[in-house]
DNA sequence: GTGAAAGCGCTAACAA
DNA sequence: TTGTTAGCGCTTTCAC
């Protein structure tokens, strides 16, 4: 049987309030009383019922994190960082994945476990402004990823254009001039994909290097398989780049696999830069040069933003918070032999 | 302002109970009444307070999953499978990681968010029998991984000895005879590590192949870095295996990286078999042969076990449930040239 | 410093 | 079929 505050109170011969005071470390309790109550607590093995506390306080100490796919190491690593950041404030994390499906994302944004969660961190892939505009839930929300929502929700991003430009600049500095961008997807709302493409184009243009359409390669998704497929299609079409800037590390890894199969050597024949800096890129026959977003910072900022909303700040959200990134140079972009 | 059942009841001019009936799809409500109440619900934008429901029912519909590390793709993929399996029964998953730290594991097993969770799935790395024996919490618990706890908790495992033997048998059939085992760790309670070593030894012995101690390689952890370190140490010590069976895919990948750096070619000079079948192994310059545990089955069984406890079964747990595995052959164990 | 009592929002007996 | 009411276990005024 569960033992409640009342049981402890009776056992100690005091009121419920007093026990509650002890449990909550209320300062104005005489040491003697505290000891007496504590003894009763220990004897009965009392453990507070968090659900009741939640109901009473209207807070649960739980925040939810919804990412497209845990199988994508970037999101898994990010989730780990969020769990840690949340734990620092004694919050626990409820995890869900949306499969990058717009409908799922809408569902989650609307009212995923309302009342059970104090806030929601959502990393959308396909969610549109309008989906959020009609949002009814009152749960604080913060969005991950650079998106231009004109809405009262904070979002945490890195400067994708600038990051893409660094990647391309790095390739140019390595003497590459036919740099393909692997990650175009016209049918997707995914803004980072468009921004990275924009950065690719800007940097090339500014450097006076041509950016022909044939080097803009569409992908069907953001994983290794799709990266491989896209790379194969590009090569099959007879286009021969001397470098590839991929939407993310997974796409880059898929592309590298195909390059390898086709006998093209990375970095000698084709240099490759990814995006995300997942652990996986540090290993493999050719380690992967990549843009490394500061995941810890992103996680911390997201949690902080939620905490801010919870603390009753009335200022509307809608801030655009920017996390840092760095370019991590590895073997996939070493100079030519 | 939050709108409650009472508000809806007043608005519709009915009793709270009636509204509750409608909300919970209680069958015996006249259609007219249902419509009337539904209208009030829609008008006020009523959403049930789950916390209150939880307090009342003593159930939350939340289960917790605690894994060592989300950065390990095996656990990330498993977590995804658990989330899916839980969702099928309308459960949500609270995620935590223990960093493979015994103290953390004990903490989690004792009372992680008690009352908030209906059950706990724990994937322990260092937890000992005694830690569980003194467990006071009353939250249903199921353990992941093969462990011989003589305790009233179900655990889900695959047959590690048998799986290891398949891996070794496969290598033998490929003409390898100096097969190293990368993953010994005497200081760890991690049973699978010991069982896989046992399987390695059994298979070799039975095949009449020598299993010298020099081929049993200790690792300092279960990730890529430690795999790399262990492989480097082995080679530095002058031992030259013609195959490696690694504790898991991460260790295998770390080892392959070092083999590559040292100019040893996989599979030609050294064949490699991993364990876990993480996505990552399907790519890379050399795809990885591995033991593939049925993660979906593990997740489903774990959730089912929890559901069983929740349904009030009185039979003690303590069952040892076994999930299937398969050997997935890839490039890292192709025949010699 | 401690006690009494109200009530968070809901469900489930029990009545009507 | 629908209404009344008593809690689930806790926190929190407000007295004392």
Give yes or no for residue A337 having a pLDDT over 60: no
Indicate the pLDDT class of residue B313, thresholds 50, 70 and 90. low
Average pLDDT of A250-272? 97
**pLDDT of the residue at A129:** 85
Q: Which of B43, B62, B70, B110 to mutate to test the interface with A (most CBs of A within 10 A)?
A: B70
Per mean pLDDT, which range of A7-16, A109-118, A199-208, A281-290 is the poorest? A109-118
Q: Is the CB of B55 under 7 A from strand D?
A: yes
Residues 56-115 in B contacting A (C-alpha not used; CB under 8 Å): 60, 62, 69-71, 73, 76-77, 79-80, 83, 92-97, 111, 113-115
Q: What is the pLDDT of residue A189?
A: 80
Which three-class secondary structure string do you get for B256-303? HHHHHHCCCCCCCCCEEEEECCCHHHHCCCCCCEEEEECHHHHHHHHH
**Using the CB atom, is residue A104 less than 7 Å from strand C?**
no
- Please give, rounded to a whole number of angstroms, the shortest distance from the CA of A46 to a CA of chain B: 11
- Percent of chain B's residues with pLDDT above 70: 97
Q: Between chains, do B79 and A95 touch, taking CB under 8 Å as contact?
A: yes
The answer to whether the beta carbon of residue B57 comes closer than 7 angstroms to any atom of strand D is no
Q: CB-based contacts of A159: which residues, under 8 Å, 6+ apart?
A: A146, A322, A325
Instruction: Quickly tell me which residue has 């322990």 as its tokens.
Output: B124
Question: In degrees, to the nearest 5, what angle opens at C-alpha B135 toward C-alphas B133 and B136?
Answer: 135
The residue that leads in pLDDT, A259 or A112, is: A259
Our CA-based measurement puts residue A208 at a distance from the nearest CA of chain B, in whole angstroms, of 34
Strand-pairing partners, residue B67, are B97
A268 or B149, higher pLDDT = A268
CB of B322 closer than 8 Å to CB of B158: yes
Q: What is the pLDDT of residues B162-209, one digit of tens each?
A: 999 999 999 999 999 999 999 998 777 888 999 999 999 999 999 999
The runs of H, that is alpha helices, within B60-147 are: 73-88, 102-111, 129-133
Ranking A75-79, A309-313, B7-11 by mean pLDDT, the lowest is A309-313
Give chain B's length: 337
| Ordered domains of chain B (ranges, CATH) | 5-44 (1.10.260.40), 58-158+294-323 (3.40.50.2300), 160-293+327-334 (3.40.50.2300)
- pLDDT at position B150 is 75
Query: What local confidence, expressed as pLDDT, does residue A314 receive?
Result: 59
Q: B222-262 pLDDT, tens per residue?
A: 999 999 999 999 999 999 999 999 999 999 999 999 999 99
Whether residue A180 contacts residue A244, with contact meaning beta carbons closer than 8 Å, is answered with yes
pLDDT digits (tens, 9 = 90+) for A29-66: 898 889 999 999 999 989 999 999 999 998 899 999 99
Cβ within 8 Å, pair B224-A279? yes
Residues 6 or more apart in contact with residue A119 via CB below 8 angstroms:
A63, A64, A139, A140, A141, A142, A306, A309, A310
- Report if CB A49 to strand D is under 7 Å: yes
Q: Which residues from A are below 8 Å from B137, CB to CB?
A: 47
Give one word for B206, left, alpha or beta, with left for phi > 0 and alpha for psi -120 to 50: alpha
In B, minimum Cα distance to A64 occurs at B94
DSSP states of A121-160 as a string?
EE--SS--HHHHHT----S-EEEES-----SS-EEEEE-H
Specify which residues B272 forms β-bridges with: B244
- Distances, alpha carbon B188 to alpha carbons B185, B216, B336, in Å: 6, 15, 35
Is A54 in Cβ contact with B113 (below 8 Å)?
Answer: no
pLDDT of residue A228: 98
Report residue B283's pLDDT band, with 50, 70 and 90 as the boundaries: very high
- Chain C footprint bases within 7 A of protein beta carbons: 1-13
Report CB contact under 8 Å: A62, B116: yes
- Percentage of chain B with pLDDT > 90? 73
- Stretch (H or E) spanning B323: strand B320-323
Query: What is the torsional sign of CA A295, A297, A301, A307?
Result: positive
Question: pLDDT digits over B216-233, tens only?
Answer: 999 999 999 999 999 999
Q: What is the pTM of this model?
A: 0.94
Residue B80 DSSP SS3:
helix
Using alpha carbons, list the distances in angstroms from residue B214 to B112, B166, B181: 42, 22, 10
Average pLDDT of A144-162?
A: 86
For A96, which of B54, B83, B256 is closest by C-beta distance? B83
Nearest residue to C9, CA vs C1'? Answer: B52
Q: Given a cut of 90, is residue B117 above it in pLDDT?
A: yes
B45 touches chain A (CB under 8 A): yes
How many whole angstroms separate alpha carbon A231 and alpha carbon A243? 11
Measured between alpha carbons, how far is A320 from A145 in angstroms, rounded to an integer?
10
- Nearest Cα residue to A295 out of A158, A194, A161: A158
Q: Is A224 on the interface with B (CB under 8 A)?
A: yes
């Amino acid at each position: 049987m569960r033992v409640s505050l009342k049981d402890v109170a009776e056992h100690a011969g005091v009121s419920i309030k007093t026990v509650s005071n002890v449990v909550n470390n209320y300062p104005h309790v005489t040491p003697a009383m505290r000891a007496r109550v504590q003894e009763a607590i220990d004897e009965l093995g009392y453990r507070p019922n968090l659900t009741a506390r939640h109901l009473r306080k209207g807070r649960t100490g739980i925040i939810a994190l919804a990412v497209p796919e845990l199988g994508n190491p970037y999101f898994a690593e990010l989730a780990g960082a969020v769990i840690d950041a949340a734990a620092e404030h004694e919050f626990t994390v409820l995890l869900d994945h949306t499969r990058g499906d717009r409908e799922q994302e809408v569902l989650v944004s609307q009212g995923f476990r309302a009342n059970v969660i104090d806030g929601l961190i959502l990393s959308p892939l396909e969610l549109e402004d309008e989906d959020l505009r009609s949002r009814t839930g009152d749960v604080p929300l913060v969005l991950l990823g650079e998106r231009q929502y004109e809405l009262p929700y904070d979002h945490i991003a890195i400067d994708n254009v600038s990051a893409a430009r660094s990647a391309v600049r790095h390739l140019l500095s390595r003497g590459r001039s036919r740099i393909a961008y692997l990650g175009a997807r016209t049918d997707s709302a995914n803004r980072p994909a468009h921004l990275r493409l924009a950065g690719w184009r800007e940097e090339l243009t500014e450097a006076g290097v041509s950016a022909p359409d044939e080097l803009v390669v569409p992908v069907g998704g953001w994983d290794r398989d799709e990266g491989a497929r896209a790379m194969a299609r590009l090569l099959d079409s007879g286009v021969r780049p001397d470098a590839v800037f991929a939407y993310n590390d997974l796409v880059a890894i898929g592309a590298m696999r195909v390059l390898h199969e086709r006998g093209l050597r990375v970095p000698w024949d084709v240099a490759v830069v990814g995006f995300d800096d997942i652990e996986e890129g540090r290993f493999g026959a050719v380690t992967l040069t990549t843009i490394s977003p500061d995941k810890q910072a992103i996680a911390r900022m997201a949690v902080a933003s939620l905490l801010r909303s919870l603390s009753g700040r009335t200022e509307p959200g809608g801030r655009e918070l920017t996390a840092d990134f760095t370019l991590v140079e590895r073997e996939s972009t070493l100079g030519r032999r």
